[in-house]
């Protein structure tokens, strides 16, 4: 009788320990809210350049989810696929390129790319244009070329009152530009842009 009682007590203790252990495991499995997703610092049409910082994410693959800087040669490096050209591509185009390369190693990889920091030379077009935003300054670009890339004027734009805002030696310089002067023979006011310039179309 004593032996049976001892066995029963022992089984009860084991079962109790198992229940507590399971409860503890469940409690530890509950995690807090996921960290907020990073927000892209560039629009979907932005084409990346050297020194831009990107976040490449491959779904359910921590080893392939990385923050990477675009090198001076315009490439990024990733495990498995090595060098990938990033310069001149949009985030969507780069994600597609990485996905194609990963298909050799993974089944149906889901890849996303966002721009964490825009560090490449750039200029800004704001106001009454079709596509305001941040644009890469990849080569010599004039105000007229920049306005063309921004899709031209909207219906209520004031082409005679364009402003070019430029920071020079820590001071803000504002130049008034008349679109109609730029397109005549003299080309007056069709300045060549520098990195950081802002074109304002009222």
Return the higher-pLDDT residue of 168 and 15.
Answer: 168
pLDDT averaged over every residue in the chain: 81
pLDDT digits (tens, 9 = 90+) for 137-187: 877 899 999 999 999 999 999 999 999 999 887 789 999 999 999 998 878
pLDDT digits (tens, 9 = 90+) for 30-56: 233 334 456 676 777 788 888 899 999
CA distances from 199 to 24, 161, 172, 185, 196 (A): 60, 11, 13, 22, 10
CB 148 within 8 A of CB 201: no
Q: State mean pLDDT over 16-38.
A: 38
Q: How far apart are CA 114 and CA 39, in angstroms?
A: 7
* Cβ neighbours around 178 below 10 Å, total: 14
Residue 7 has pLDDT above 80, yes or no: no
Nearest to 192 by CA among 155, 130, 143: 143
CB 146 within 8 A of CB 163: no
Angle at 146 between CA 51 and CA 166, to 5 degrees: 70
pLDDT digits (tens, 9 = 90+) for 57-102: 999 888 889 999 999 888 999 999 889 999 889 999 999 999 999 9
CB 143 within 8 A of CB 125: no
Q: Among 17-21, 120-124, 195-199, which stretch is predicted with the lowest mean pLDDT?
A: 17-21
Residue 3 has pLDDT above 60, yes or no: no
- 27 band by pLDDT with thresholds 50, 70 and 90: very low
The pLDDT, as a whole number, for residue 169 is 73
């Amino acid at each position: 009788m004593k032996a049976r009682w001892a066995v029963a007590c022992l089984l009860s203790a084991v079962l109790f320990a198992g229940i507590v252990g399971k409860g503890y495991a469940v409690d530890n499995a509950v995690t807090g809210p996921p960290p907020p997703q990073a927000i892209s610092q560039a629009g979907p049409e932005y084409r990346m350049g050297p020194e831009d910082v990107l976040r490449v994410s491959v779904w359910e693959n921590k080893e392939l989810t990385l923050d990477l800087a675009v090198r001076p040669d315009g490439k990024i490096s990733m495990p498995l696929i090595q060098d990938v050209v990033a310069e001149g591509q949009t985030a969507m185009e780069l994600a597609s390129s990485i996905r194609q390369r990963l298909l050799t190693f993974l089944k149906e990889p889901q890849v996303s790319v966002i721009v964490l920091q825009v560090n490449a030379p750039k200029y800004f077009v704001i106001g009454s244009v079709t596509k305001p935003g941040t644009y890469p300054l990849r080569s010599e670009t004039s105000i007229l070329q920049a306005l063309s890339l921004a899709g031209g004027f909207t219906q209520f734009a004031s082409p005679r009152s364009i402003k070019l805002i430029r920071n020079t030696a820590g001071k803000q310089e504002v130049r008034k530009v008349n679109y109609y002067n730029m397109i005549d023979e003299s080309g007056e006011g069709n300045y060549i842009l520098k990195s950081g310039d802002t074109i304002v179309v009222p």
